Amino acid sequence: MRILVFNAGSSSLKFGVYDIPRGGGLVQMQQCFKGSFDRFGAGGCDYRAGLDEGTVTRAPYTDLASATQAVPDMLARAGITGIEAVGHRIAHGGAEFTAATALSAEVLEKIHALTPLAPLHNPANLKAVEIARDVWPDLPQWAVFDTSFHLTNPARAVTYAVPQHWRDAGLRRFGFHGTSHKYVAQRAAEALGRELRDLRLISLHLGNGASACAVALGESIDSSMGMTPLEGLVMGTRSGDVDPGLFGYLSRQMGLGITEIEDALYRDSGLKGLTGSSDMRDVEDRAAAGDADAQLAINIYAYRARKYIGAYAAAMGGLDALIFTGGIGENSPSMRRRICDGLEFMGLKLDHDRNMAVELGAHAAPQIQAYGTRVNVLVTETAEQLMIAREVAQAIRTPQGEALRIPIAVSARHVHLSQCAVDALFGPGYELTPDKPLRQKGHWAARERVVLHGPKGEIANVAILGPLRDRTQVEISRTDGFALGIDAPVRQSGALDGTPHIRLIGPAGQYDTNGLIIAARHIHMNSADAQQIGLSDGDTVNVTLTTSGRGLTFGGVLIRVTDNAFTEMHIDTDEANAAGISGAVEGELSGEAVLRST
């Protein structure tokens, strides 16, 4: 399968062609052509071509339209044929677009409506789509959205504390650079030889646009950009975080209108506002020569990034790896050092020689942390176009036949106990009494019950599920957490490091333990069913209610495959209430398994 990818900006166009070898999977996808047009102007533009990007030449193309229209001839001269689809980067997809989406007239209309939220990006992205549809009228056009990866962010991370009618009008945080953050998180997990769903990562995409992303157990849980790409880190021409009160102040004191202020925050702020230049290379050179404004800009840039690292490590309950990407993240050893200095208290420290000797060819992801430190630090080139090609190919490959339907089970609060917990709660040597068998072979509900005790209240008569485990795990709903007065994280079963403590009370005593979680929705799947639909352990899918409820679609559902599993999906009581579930319910898998890092 061969995919052409466009990444269009207001004054640039990057494109590439990607191919999956015959019989290969998505992870074997390779780039077979690469090109870019930059600095459009009346005299033409700069052009690079070839996998090594070659040398810069001048081309006669003065705008995005003429450059896009020239691509077919360039591909033909390079012997590139057999393109099956065109993928486009779209900056803002709102809350609706969760995956690669075919660009129908209806979808394009919805993307156009989001332009006010990404005024620097969506217009150029849509212009490239319009031209590509004219140039390749017979090829399917697909969109991959910067915002999609962040739609897993919890409500507490995306909700602004503003009046309800503002929120009803769509005011919320979205986050951007999602394709980049998703790729580098997967690449880091691969480089570390670990499963992405076992890691807590912070990705720093530092370029003319800059953002930080917290990736916990395979999902984005927070991002520094907000409703628009203006919030967060200091950028080339964008301010990042500011007090929203400045709008009123500048209006009263300087007579500036909303449009003037907004335009200045987008185009005349950030490094440019602090130094007159939006290029970090220029700023670093001037700082080294003694320019006080440049020195201040560098300190602000690094300080803002360091604050987000600390905040996101706290939000995730720890940090396994920090990833640098983007033009500045990849190419500035001094900025990487400035950002990391002072973080030794959390087990993060750079090695000077490794930081200075970064080589990034062939998708390398070198580690630059000091030997023996706990937190890994990696540098890698982002590969947004490769990720777009993979997601488009994956969407095209999705089976269109009859989907697998599975029962959905509502899992009420319960505990899985270790032997030491049983001894403490029921007496030394006590054996639990299996009472009711569960659908999963070898699992049962015990006759005994326990009480959960928290700082606000207690929950009695909590079920115990067997068999015993090596580590006690307590599963509750979000509502239960408020009743107890404890903020439990959403985790996959067994991912208990950094989870809150809870007190269990039994007839013989009490037992204090961590392991309190809200169980992430998941599917226990029999190996035969998984093979039938082409899924593997660790994939995630979307599941849409088909037989009752409100027609809701659950996203990011983890597949857990075992030979003797009874195939069914487990959700908690809050999710069941939100979906309007009563009685027996089935869900239908969309088949859109997320690409794993291995």
Sign, CA torsion 130/327/18/147? negative
Asked whether the predicted pLDDT for residue 402 surpasses 70, the reply is: no
175 is in an annotated binding site: no
421 confidence band (pLDDT: 50, 70, 90): very high
Which residue is associated with the tokens 């029921």?
426
pLDDT at 581: 80
Among the residue ranges 24-28, 281-285, 322-326, the one predicted with the least confidence is 24-28
209 is in an annotated binding site: yes
Question: 367 vs 117, which has greater pLDDT?
Answer: 367
For every residue of 368-406, DSSP letters joined together read -BPTT-SSEEEE----HHHHHHHHHHHHHHS--SPPPEE
pLDDT at 16: 93
178 is in an annotated binding site: no
402 is in an annotated binding site: no
Mean pLDDT of the 524-546 span? 83
205 is in an annotated binding site: yes
pLDDT at 252: 97
pLDDT at 538: 83
Q: What percent of the chain lies above the pLDDT cut of 90?
A: 68
pLDDT at 592: 43
Q: Which residues are annotated as catalytic? A: 146
Question: 227 vs 582, which has greater pLDDT?
Answer: 227
Asked whether the predicted pLDDT for residue 161 surpasses 60, the reply is: yes
Mean pLDDT of the residues in the chain: 91
- Nearest Cα to Cα of residue 489 among 451, 508, 515, 463: 515
pLDDT at 596: 39
Cα(523)–Cα(538) distance, rounded to whole angstroms? 10
pLDDT tens digits, one per residue of 8-55: 876 788 999 999 876 666 667 889 999 999 888 888 999 888 776 667
- Nearest Cα to Cα of residue 225 among 339, 149, 295, 318: 149
Sign, CA torsion 407/411/417/423? negative
CB within 8 A of 354, min separation 6: which ones? 366, 367, 368, 369
19 is in an annotated binding site: no
580 is in an annotated binding site: no
Cα(13)–Cα(219) distance, rounded to whole angstroms? 29
CB 462 within 8 A of CB 434: no
568 is in an annotated binding site: no
pLDDT tens digits, one per residue of 497-513: 889 999 999 999 999 99
- Nearest Cα to Cα of residue 3 among 38, 30, 24: 30
Asked whether the predicted pLDDT for residue 463 surpasses 70, the reply is: yes
307 is in an annotated binding site: no
416 is in an annotated binding site: no
Question: 410 vs 12, which has greater pLDDT?
Answer: 410
pLDDT at 597: 32
279 is in an annotated binding site: yes
Q: What percent of the chain lies above the pLDDT cut of 70?
A: 95
For every residue of 111-177, DSSP letters joined together read HHHTGGGSTTTHHHHHHHHHHHHHHSTTS-EEEEETTGGGGGS-HHHH--SS-HHHHHTT-----S-
Mean pLDDT of the 362-367 span? 93
pLDDT at 398: 61
pLDDT at 356: 97
Sign, CA torsion 34/223/247/236? negative
pLDDT at 431: 96
Mean pLDDT of the 121-126 span? 89
Between the CA of residue 306 and those of 288, 351, 433, what are the distances in Å? 21, 18, 52
pLDDT at 448: 97
For every residue of 10-38, DSSP letters joined together read SSEEEEEEEEPPTT--GGG-EEEEEEEEE
Cα(152)–Cα(174) distance, rounded to whole angstroms? 10
Counting runs of H as helices and runs of E as strands, what totals does the chain give?
19, 28
- Nearest Cα to Cα of residue 108 among 73, 132, 85: 132
Helices 258-267/246-254 angle, 10° precision? 120
pLDDT at 85: 95
Which pairs with CB-CB distance under 8 Å and at least 24 residues apart come from 155-158? 157/221, 157/222
Q: How far is CA 503 from the centre of its chain?
A: 34
pLDDT tens digits, one per residue of 171-202: 999 999 999 999 999 999 999 999 898 899 99
Cα(556)–Cα(394) distance, rounded to whole angstroms? 16
pLDDT at 540: 81
CB 91 within 8 A of CB 121: yes
Cα(87)–Cα(351) distance, rounded to whole angstroms? 39
**Which of 394-408, 476-490, 576-590 is the most confident on average?**
476-490
Set out the domains of the chain in order of their start, with CATH numbers. 1-145 (3.30.420.40), 173-393 (3.30.420.40), 411-519 (no CATH), 521-589 (no CATH)
453 is in an annotated binding site: no
Between the CA of residue 214 and those of 152, 232, 338, what are the distances in Å? 11, 13, 20
207 is in an annotated binding site: yes
64 is in an annotated binding site: no
Question: 154 vs 300, which has greater pLDDT?
Answer: 300
Query: What is the total residue count of the chain?
Result: 598
Mean pLDDT of the 285-314 span? 97
Asked whether the predicted pLDDT for residue 324 surpasses 90, the reply is: yes
